[in-house]
Structure 1
Amino acid sequence: MTGPADQTATTSPAPAPAGAAPAGPRGAANRRGPFRAGERVQLTDERGRMNTVTLADEGEFHSHRGVLPHSELIGRPEGTVVENSAGFRYQALRPLLKDFVLSMPRGAAVVYPKDAGQIVTMADIFPGARVVEAGVGSGALSISLLRAVGDEGHLHSFERREEFADIARGNVETMFGGPHPAWRISIGDLAEELGEQEEPGSVDRVVLDMLAPWECLDAVATALAPGGVVICYVATVTQLSRTAEAMRADGRFTEPDASETMVRGWHVEGLAVRPDHRMVAHTGFLISARRLADGSERLAPKRRASKSEFSQEDLDAWTPVALGERDVSGKKLRRAGREALGLAERAARAGGGSTAGVLGDGPETAPQAPAGPAAEGEERERP
């Protein structure tokens, strides 16, 4: 364990200032009303190229096509079209969740929107649900889960590395304008900590995004209520196979269901309608099962002995190195964490919120992030 066993964000944002969007579900104020300083805004030019900027009172957006003062956007309604100093036009919109996830600071690969949407639907994440998540990474999936459970639900996220937790915390607070009342994040191993922090049979759903989810199935089965859902996101066929066999061997789950999702865009212009040449194909597999009542036996088609049988030697051949897993450097994680927490502080100021109390034993407000590397498709921004 690399840090305190539990770091819980419980501080609520301060009341919204006069003229701000009306109070509502967490994050709603940041999605409504005119643009405010501290918000991230997506600028799209006439050729469809997107640039993301964080608005500042004296800021400017610089590109090889001219300069656009941020004052041209602050106070204007969403959907405004503005011109820069050279006459080039941009349409300004708040980034959608899919845009934010793909451009936010990260220390690990994110769960893509197509998979996050499937997880929320296939696992039946409902408002008010008690959900456990393991493998927070950069917080992309956490944002989708928090939106699904709502302010009255409960999401308990477990992360082994505190550096990843800092990045996720900053990204979540940027999206929601401050700490989310339904979110609790703990530093530690799910297999060891879940039984200590959640009562048996008290959890509705469990989402595992980790290298070896089969190691946590005993703890998951104990925490899940009868009928509860466990869903795992894995990257390789080897992981998929081993997770499925571990679910079957455990005996407390229904027959596992596995799938992958591919998204193909289409070009639609007049009568020229055709599929795009590129698509978002394999990113990962989803495998899910439900918790049986204690004493019940799994019903599944009988399988005859075949090449599907495996030995312990087959299992021992699996290693993270064989999968090409690469460790993320501490320097990269710290830089992404500073950037994420800095964006969260700006978002809180824009929405009239506060980041107080979210950094554990550290200062009450997140440190200002230095200018980090631009996201893909993002041009240089000068505050």
Structure 2
Amino acid sequence: MNPDQTSTGAAQRRGLFRAGDRVQLTDPRGRLHTITLAEGASFHTHRGYLDHDQLLGSPEGSVVRNTAGIEYLAVRPLLADYVLSMPRGAAVVYPKDSGQIVAMADIYPGARVIEAGVGSGALTMSLLRAVGDGGSLHSIERREDFAAIARGNVEGFFGGPHPAWELSVGDLSDVLPTVAEPGTVDRVVLDMLAPWENLDAVAEALAPGGVFISYVATTTQLSRLAEDIRTDGRYTEPEAWESMVRGWHLEGLAVRPQHRMIGHTGFLLTTRRLADGVEAPQRRRRPAKGAYPVAPDGAPAVDDSELWSPEAMGERLVSDKKLRRARRDVGQAPQEA
């Protein structure tokens, strides 16, 4: 490969520190501070300040001292660090889940991927890394303010627009048929409140054998999605799991699990698109008694759509003030009327 032909964003990941680079400073206690380098600027704490000019032109992995003599290790933040420190509107998909999505959905270079529920753009960056410049990622977000924050975060990380990325504002069921021909999408990734409402649109877009993966927060969402997938008949038997990460304390012979861990964040469910006209194989296992709710007359219980409101599902609302601040931080401030 020609060394001058690099993937989008690669140039921002190597070389000496430059103005505009995001730098992660680690103090002697292991606390992380993320700054954006600018000529003449300074990083202040209650224990002195550090001039950005000390870092400009320095190699990654340098150690600098502030005016109080406190040393900081300076490196570029990894993607996992970036998504947890960047401005956000909606909650982000944690790196442990993004990694699982990329691996278990088999997001490969050149893949044609649809993502819906962009939030602040955390998962989008991992998907773009996976599909590469030769792939295609079309992200769909219902809220314009979330989409603006995601665009600012993604372009800030890659140093500008990514050639494989398109971002649309609207409902998945409305936008997807206009951006993808039937049977042409390799992977669909959903992070939304009620993904079962879009199973028909996803089935139309997915190629036979294509992977559908969904991120949901609660067991009630997980159960509803799995049963609706089985009822639809165009998907394979769904599989679901969660992952938990526990760090370890390493100090001489004192090697033990850390007291804190990243526990439950969400559930992941995957299934694959069957070929047209093929019936899903029947499950051989018999469901346990009481596994499916029934009405008093013995008929299947009818789901109440009001139960699936964001408030009922425990979705944390984001204030307009926080959204405006996040948009300003990523350079996507709303235009004045």
Q: Which TM bucket (shorter chain)?
A: over 0.9
Q: Does 1:121 align with 2:103?
A: yes
Could you tell me the percent identity over the aligned residues?
66
Structure 1 residue aligned with 2:315, among 325, 334, 357? 325
Q: 2:169 aligns with which of 179, 184, 187?
A: 187
Q: For the residues of structure 1 that align with 2:172 and 2:244, how far apart are their CA atoms?
A: 30
- Larger RCO (CA within 8 A; separation ≥ 6): 1
Q: CA deviation at 1:316?
A: 4.5
After superposing the two structures, state which structure 1 stretch, 44-53 or 159-168, moved more.
44-53
Q: Could you list the per-position Cα deviations for residues 284-317 of structure 1 after superposition, in whole angstroms to 9, with x for gaps in the alignment?
A: 0000100001111112324346211133434546
CA–CA distance in structure 1, aligned partners of residues 252 and 145 of structure 2: 49
Q: In structure 2, list runs of 5 or more residues that go unmatched.
A: 294-299
Which letter does structure 2 place at the counterpart of 1:308?
A
**Residue 314 of structure 2 is aligned to residue 341 of structure 1:** no
SS of the residue aligned with 1:168?
helix
| Distance in 1 of aligned mates of 2:267 and 2:304 | 19
The one-letter amino acid paired with 1:81 is V
CA offset at residue 63 of structure 1? 1.3
The answer to whether 1:172 aligns with 2:154 is yes
Partner of 2:254: 272
Task: Determine if contact 1:23/1:29 at 8 Å carries over to the other structure.
Answer: no
Q: Within 2, Cα distance between the matches of 1:31 and 1:118?
A: 23
Instruction: Tell me which residue corresponds to 1:30.
Output: 12
1:325-369 deviation per Cα after TM superposition (whole angstroms, max 9, x unaligned): 2432333222211211279xxxxxxxxxxxxxxx9xx79xxxxxx
**Alpha-carbon distance change, 67 to 297 in structure 1, aligned in 2, over 3 angstroms:** same
Question: How far apart are the structure 1 equivalents of 2:22 and 2:272?
Answer: 39
Q: Is the 8 A contact 1:22 1:29 kept in 2?
A: no
Equivalent positions of 1:1-383 (< 5 A) are: 23-299=5-281, 300-304=283-287, 306-310=289-293, 311-316=300-305, 318-320=307-309, 321-341=311-331
Give the aligned residue type for 2:325.
R
Q: Is the 8 A contact 1:169 1:341 kept in 2?
A: no
Seen in structure 2, the aligned counterparts of structure 1 residues 327 and 338 have a Cα distance that, compared at 3 Å, is: same
- Normalising by structure 1, we get a TM-score of 0.82
CA contact (8 A) 2:238 2:271 kept: yes
Q: Which amino acid aligns with 2:312?
A: A
Instruction: Give the TM-score of the pair, scaled to structure 2.
Output: 0.93
Q: Is the 8 A contact 2:89 2:149 kept in 1?
A: yes
Structure 1: state its 5+ residue gaps: 1-20, 344-358, 364-383
Question: Higher mean Cα deviation, 123-132 or 305-314?
Answer: 305-314
The letter of the residue matching 2:291 is: S
Kindly provide the amino acid, as one letter, of the partner of residue 334 in structure 1: R
- Deviations along 1:117-174, whole A, 9 cap, x unmatched? 0000010000000000000000000000000000000000001111111000000001
Other structure's SS at 1:201 match? coil
Amino acid in the other structure paired with 2:116: A
SS in structure 2 of the partner of residue 322 of structure 1: coil
What is the Cα deviation at residue 261 of structure 1? 0.4
Following the alignment from structure 1 to structure 2, what is the Cα–Cα distance between the partners of residues 230 and 184?
19
Partner SS, residue 330 of structure 2: helix
| Aligned counterparts of 1:41 and 1:316: Cα–Cα separation in 2 | 46
| Amino acid aligned to 2:252 | G
